[in-house]
Chain A
Amino acid sequence: MSNNSSRRQWLRNTTAALAGVSLAPAIFATEKERYRAEGIILLNGNENPYGPSTAARKAMTESLGNSNRYPDDAVNTLRQQLAEFNGVEKENILMGAGSSEIIGLVLLAAGGGGYRRGYIMTAEPSYKIWHTQAEAIGYDFIQIPLNKERKYDMDKFSSYQSKFNAQLFYICNPNNPTGTFVEPKELEDFINRSRSGHVLVDEAYTEYPDIPSLAQYAIKVPKVIVAKTFSKIYGLAGARIGYAIAHSETIKRLASIQAWPNANVSMATAAAASAALKDQGFVKDCREKAGLARQMCYDCFKQLSLEYIPSHTNFILFNIDKITGDFTKRMEAKNIFVQFRNHFGGKWCRVTMGTIDEMKIFCSVLKSIAG
């Protein structure tokens, strides 16, 4: 097996893992086998191709020498900084090793901290990598189809909640994989009417459409938890850092589930996040570039008469029913890695916005395959 084909196998496996199909088995790659040298374009993980920012890299380098110490102080300072940034108090912030950890904590908290059975109401399609963990805890899912505009259907959520006594609502806003969002005000109205014990609003992508966070609302309503991440526009997916914003009592309950509150974030990661947060110029730049990349893709989809869902994020879901053969395999043959999705009774592809140059290549490859 050549290096290239072993890498493809590895990427296929990880793509399967991303789709929640199976866990990625280890495929061995050496430093020399780096994908960049091979021109591989990763459009499969909704990562930020430009990150981390220069400021974040510098901060990481400078902090490495302190890695022998537990990160308490660095993380404490970061919490204060995040509180100010979000216009809340430090007591409203809980750090996690990615918003993935925050989601896990909310799953445990909503279940009473241990392993209990209950319902989680969420949408279909939506972000679902946490489902495995929820199943291990003992939850069942009520998955409400998106509405015609491919948005979360809050009216249906309302009508279904009387049939199922859900312990938790999970709302991904903007939604992954559709890139659509519900107006924050509409969400607040829905939550005011809802009876669920907990509402988790996953705001991984809010910085792309630049819509208001539910942070201010969450700190007043104890059942609401907002999950934020540095994995997307801040370009730090591999550094593993996210946080919760909630009422201080809710934060206390979530913190009590962690081995040590706020302690799963590495020293270098805390430094990187702190620097990244200050570098809002980088954020703005990435937002604009994602917008340009989306427009480039839309033009391409229109030319090819491919249906797509207008997105407000760094990814787009487009329909590939018309394209013959194994789409992901055909893209991989051209060194491009995307996610295949079965949604709305058809075949779709979720493509992450890479750099402008990467998207030019993506569009020309797509034209050669679908044209």
Chain B
Amino acid sequence: MMGETNRYPFNVPSLQSAKKTLGDYYKVGEDQVLITAGSGEGLAMLARHFNKGNIVTADITFGVLPNTAKKIGSKVIEVPLTKEKMHDLPAMMKAINNETQLVYICNPANPTATILKADELKRFCEGASKKTVVLIDEAYNEFLDNPDSQSMIGLIEKNPNILVIKTFSKIHAMAGLRIGFLIGHPTLIKKLQPDYFQSSQLAVSVLSLNAAMASLNDEPHKLMSKQKNEAARKYTMDEMKKAGIQFIPSYTNFIFYPVKSYPGEYSADIFEKHKIIMRSNKYGDGQWARVSVGTIDEMKQFIKVIGDPKNNMAAR
């Protein structure tokens, strides 16, 4: 495959079946799949596509789609999360109006790591999709115990207004390969295609796409990723609890925790003092940190740092 990187994707025969491979895996037609250079690319494209009215999403949520929409001057209606940092579905339903073109929900949620009950989300999707397109971002779905029953892909067959976006950056551990994809009704997927230069697949390296297709069915690797993540996450949450550190229980490969009274920029300081690279952000209710779940050894290091009250790196 390396030797074929001089050829455009359309001149590499083995890649012509990528959409069918994905379609078969998720039990949809190949005309229901749109491959993008990471799901971030797909999210930005959707923000640009649905630019006529408003977009309803949560505050806070994964930023690419709402931020892109705001940059091009679209109205974004941001519905606050509940106190438990959960999506407030009834409030989001109420926020939808005649101008709404798209509802965006990241489930499991980023950066909060919470999940919605599958039947509640399904009901929401069914109700909201009568008025607008509903996009569910399932980047972290495979970290759940029952990923299939938690996925909204099953709704798409009968509902042209539901879209699901997924990525190879998480459970497949291929963030550096830049492969994501959308699954939707053929009519909607067809409408999105001209937003791209010839084909969205042209933004994807032949090497990456080949690797992604090989990983799709690599169940042992996915199971290993999931189990190791679970073990390291459980360890981290248990230790945080023992130390009396506040956090939002996580269903993903990262943990969201408040550092409200922390005086400086948390992520900059924890990197400088302890060589841990993570994210922190100031929100309406103060500063929060998001730590990705690394290997168990890495998480031991992390706990050593935040577990020590002298370091003042956690809220108790």
Chain A contact residues, CB within 8 Å of chain B: 7, 10, 14, 17-18, 20, 23-24, 26-31, 33-35, 42, 44-45, 47-52, 56-57, 60-61, 64, 66-71, 74, 97-98, 100-101, 103-104, 108, 112-115, 129-130, 132-133, 135-136, 231, 235-241, 256-260, 263-269, 272
Q: Which residue of B lies closest to A71 (CB)?
A: B176
Contact (Cβ within 8 A) A68 B48: no
**Segment from B14-22, B94-102, B268-276, B279-287 that makes contact with A:** B14-22
CB neighbours (8 Å) of B199 from chain A are: 17, 23-24
Contact (Cβ within 8 A) A108 B48: yes
Q: How far is the CA of A236 from the CA of B207 in the complex (A)?
A: 11
Contact (Cβ within 8 A) B41 A42: no
CB neighbours (8 Å) of B258 from chain A are: none
Q: How far is the CA of A42 from the CA of B12 in the complex (A)?
A: 11
Count of chain B residues near A, Cβ 8 A: 55
Contact (Cβ within 8 A) A259 B38: yes
Interface centre among A20, A29, A136, A259 (most CB of B within 10 A): A259
Interface centre among B2, B12, B176, B193 (most CB of A within 10 A): B176
- In chain B, positions 63-77 with a C-beta closer than 8 Å to chain A are 64, 68, 71-74
CB neighbours (8 Å) of B16 from chain A are: 10, 24, 26-29
**Segment from B3-11, B112-120, B242-250, B302-310 that makes contact with A:** B3-11
Contact (Cβ within 8 A) A238 B205: yes
CB neighbours (8 Å) of B178 from chain A are: 71, 97, 263-266
Pick the 8 closest A-B CB pairs, nearest first: A267-B176, A29-B13, A238-B206, A259-B40, A51-B6, A259-B44, A136-B194, A114-B72
Q: Which residue of B lies closest to A270 (CB)?
A: B176
CB neighbours (8 Å) of B10 from chain A are: 14, 17-18, 24, 45
CB neighbours (8 Å) of A48 from chain B are: 6
Q: How far is the CA of A260 from the CA of B175 in the complex (A)?
A: 13
Contact (Cβ within 8 A) B64 A268: no
Q: How far is the CA of A17 from the CA of B208 in the complex (A)?
A: 22
Partner of B7, one of A45, A71, A135: A45
Contact (Cβ within 8 A) B176 A68: yes
Q: Which residue of A lies closest to B17 (CB)?
A: A28
